[in-house]
Structure 1
Amino acid sequence: MWRNIVSNFLTLLIVVLVGIAGLVAWAKQQYEGPGPLTQGVCLRVEQNATFGRVSQDLLAQGAIASGYIFRAGADYEGKSGSLKFGSYLIEPGSSMRDIIKQITAGGPSTCGTELNLRIGVNAQQLILRELDAASGQYVEKAKFDPVAEAKPEGFDEAASKADVRLRITLAEGVTSWQVVEALKSADFLKGEVAKVPAEGTLAPDSYEVRRGADRAGLLDEMAKRQSAILAAAWENRASGLPYETPEEALVMASIVEKETGVPEERRQVASVFVNRLDQGMKLQTDPTVIYGVTEGKGVLGRGLRQSELNRETPYNTYVVAGLPPGPICNPGRAAIEAALNPDSTRYLFFVADGTGGHAFAETLDEHNRNVARWREIERQQKSQGSGN
């Protein structure tokens, strides 16, 4: 009898243990395996939020199958007290473990609202946009020039939320003066800028910043990035180039940046100016003359006058031989690399071809034919414009 009791007890115990083991294995699979989401969602973790509150939000959005397993997993991994405030894009199929890792690691918000100050050559714009988690695409909510236009209604309320991501984006070809003036208009930054950084020394790039970030510190970061880009490109430069220092290469890169907006042409444009320097020809490039007129303070907004083309200034490459004394803008990485690794060509001339690009030529006769074609294209465009 006792033997039967003990045997039955042991059998029951084994069944219970197997059941527990199976339950643990199932819970582990639920915790670590792919989650039920079929499209992304945005999870907002409020200040002082709890894992209980977060698990309810995730359940409501269909991101997890069990709030209990989610909370138990956080407890087991010692992360239940490590929630970080912010907005997080939860990708389709994210496991509970992945989500916990994401919302306890912190860092910049990955969804929700973004405010981007985009500093362009012709203007600056403040762009407020929000990520549509389902499509992964940003939806623009507001856009305006903070210097020339009034703020749209409701802009301040939307832009002042604590978890809004803040970004500064520099376009290739902006001048240092334009960057400083635009940063002054960003009321989410602080601090004075004592001096406009040297032309060409700021890296066109996208910079994520925190509310209250120091303007001078941000400019230092831009300069640090540009210095690293220039140093790497100089280290890998082609042989036989007509510049002796990285600074001279930066001047050439700024000219290339201003002469073409077609990425595939940068190395060809660079080859034209390298060939001209090698042959002792003047560079004869309008953007340098324009910089001599504007000093980088805004856009000329009109064509060059003949008097300006004839006037002798350090930046008038129709009059002065060689490179101008400094960069005429802040060139991007691609223009810097083009200046230091130009195509090997015999081109000495180029002119617009009507497609947004340029027609290149080795001889003056060929160039004159290209110019004649361009003049005809201009004539036709004006004729069509007057006929509309």
Structure 2
Amino acid sequence: MFFRRSKTPAPETTAQDPTDEPALPQRLSPRSPGEAIKPTVAPPPPEKPERERSGLVGLISGALTFAVVIAIAAMIGITLFQRQVREPGPLAADKVVVIPTHSGTSEIAETLKREGVIDHTGLFEFAARFGGRPALRAGEYVFKAHASISDTLDTIATGRQVQHAITFPEGLTSEQIVTRLNDNDVLTGEINEIPPEGSLLPDTYKFERGATRQQIVNLMKAKQREVLNQIWLRRSADVPVRTPAEMVTLASIVEKETGRADERPRVAGVFINRLNKRMKLQSDPTIVYGLVGGRGTLGRGILRSEIDRPTPYNTYVIEGLPPGPIANPGRAALEAVANPSRTKDLYFVADGTGGHAFADSLEAHQRNVARWRAVEKSRQAPPDAVDKVEPGPDPATPGLSKLGPAGYITLTRIIAFPSCVAPGEPGRPSAVRAATVSAASPAARCAA
């Protein structure tokens, strides 16, 4: 079937009022059934009318944009800052640097730059002020090689200062201890007064630069009281000392008699036994202390006249303990007196090996003395090993000599009296003093 196209002439184009509704498209008759079923094209949607943006909205939008830009820049800056403060520093080797007291951040930065620890003072100051660390502290610090600014700040802020140490051997007098303190150029200040004898605990004490000498003295006193109280509570009931002060006095004599730790309890036992038997202690270190006091050393041998010279400390003259300590004993000597060896020993003399031979009878002691004389006779002391002996009533009989900072007895000559005799026997010498030329050897003689 065929359709005939209408030959209606096309309408004339006329001007259209903009306010008129748009004319509907003219319906055309399909040319074929296939075209008839195709959908017609929808008209385009109407354009949305433009709205004017509110001023507040624009301001907020601009602020948010600016904030995002600032945040990104800050993140980049923080990343670069952290990288710089963690970069290895210029220091080629470990170095000790002293930060002066009352130094501000700028002064500390200048000091570190001058010492070669850091390169950039500005970066250091910024990290110190805004890095969230504690305040920087003056002091003496060790900075590791190639320490970063972060490592440097951590070292100063945490106060990990250099630890110095000073050691006081057992047996020094208080005056000798004060001398050692004054000779130390790291400590500061003056000591108010010489501490009482026996009131300081010999030990190694650590301190930081800037600590005062009086602080060390106070620490030594506190440690001595603490140790003495502990040992006093653990003492044996058989020890004939009535007070802690008496225990310190006897411990100071033991300390000066022997430098061997294994002998201290046995030497203490000798003196405990002599006290119990009401025998004189006859300890040579007490002679020296009675003559020179806190100086602690004669610098020569003891003269025969000095052995018999009465002093409050000379235990060859007085009975029992002297009025106070003759040195500052250590913990081991205090322990030895509190719990001495349970023996019957009453005498001891050098055995030639740096120790002592002990005896509980005069006969056994005389045999030990004879052996020591044989050992001494077989030795030939070099001339420069003998102390100078000052002239005295009997210059041929010099005795003991105090040598060395540790305060131990070093004997330089042998004085051979006819024999060791019981105390109080009229007309006879009270003791035999044997000697060794070794400066490392402790006291070597007999007590009688």
Partner of 1:103: 156
Aligned-partner Cα distance in 2 for 1:308–1:300: 11
Aligned-partner Cα distance in 2 for 1:344–1:376: 30
What SS does the corresponding residue of 2:354 show, helix, strand or coil?
coil
1:260 is displaced (CA, Å) by: 0.8
Written as runs of structure 1 = structure 2, the 5 A alignment for 1:178-217 is 178-183=176-181, 188-190=188-190, 192-193=192-193, 196-205=194-203, 206=205, 208=207, 210-211=209-210, 213=212, 215=214
1:78 maps onto 2:132 in alignment: yes
1:259 is displaced (CA, Å) by: 0.4
Instruction: Decide whether aligned partners of structure 1 residues 180 and 383 sit closer, same or farther in structure 2, where only a CA change above 3 A counts.
Output: closer
Q: Quick check: 1:183–1:189 contact (8 Å CA) kept in 2?
A: no
Aligned-partner Cα distance in 2 for 1:231–1:378: 43
Larger radius of gyration: 2
1:292 maps onto 2:290 in alignment: yes
Q: What is the TM-score normalised by the length of structure 1?
A: 0.61
What SS does the corresponding residue of 2:294 show, helix, strand or coil?
coil
Which residue identity is paired with 1:190? E
Partner of 1:327: 325
Written as runs of structure 1 = structure 2, the 5 A alignment for 1:211-250 is 211=210, 213=212, 215=214, 218-250=216-248
Partner of 1:5: none
Q: When the two structures are aligned, how many residues end up with a matched partner?
A: 307
Identity %: 43
Partner of 2:368: 370
1:245 is displaced (CA, Å) by: 0.5
What SS does the corresponding residue of 2:222 show, helix, strand or coil?
helix
What SS does the corresponding residue of 1:328 show, helix, strand or coil?
coil
Instruction: Decide whether aligned partners of structure 1 residues 190 and 96 sit closer, same or farther in structure 2, where only a CA change above 3 A counts.
Output: same
Instruction: Decide whether aligned partners of structure 1 residues 220 and 52 sit closer, same or farther in structure 2, where only a CA change above 3 A counts.
Output: closer
Instruction: Decide whether aligned partners of structure 1 residues 208 and 265 sit closer, same or farther in structure 2, where only a CA change above 3 A counts.
Output: same
Select the structure that is richer in helix: 1
Aligned-partner Cα distance in 2 for 1:203–1:253: 12
Which residue identity is paired with 2:158? A
Gaps of 5+ in 1: 1-19, 32-38, 62-69, 112-164
Once the two structures are superposed, residues 47-82 of structure 1 have per-residue CA deviations (whole angstroms, 9 ceiling, x without a partner) of 55689999999xx99xxxxxxxx99999998217x3
Q: Quick check: 2:288–2:296 contact (8 Å CA) kept in 1?
A: no
Gaps of 5+ in 2: 1-74, 87-92, 118-123, 385-448
Written as runs of structure 1 = structure 2, the 5 A alignment for 1:17-166 is 48=104, 78-79=132-133, 82-89=135-142, 102-106=155-159, 109-110=161-162
Which residue identity is paired with 1:380? S
Partner of 2:266: 268
Aligned-partner Cα distance in 2 for 1:292–1:103: 51
Instruction: Decide whether aligned partners of structure 1 residues 210 and 44 sit closer, same or farther in structure 2, where only a CA change above 3 A counts.
Output: closer
Select the structure that is richer in strand: 1
Aligned-partner Cα distance in 1 for 2:141–2:179: 33
Instruction: Decide whether aligned partners of structure 1 residues 41 and 173 sit closer, same or farther in structure 2, where only a CA change above 3 A counts.
Output: same
What SS does the corresponding residue of 1:360 show, helix, strand or coil?
strand
- C-alpha RMSD over aligned residues: 4.7
Written as runs of structure 1 = structure 2, the 5 A alignment for 1:293-308 is 293-308=291-306
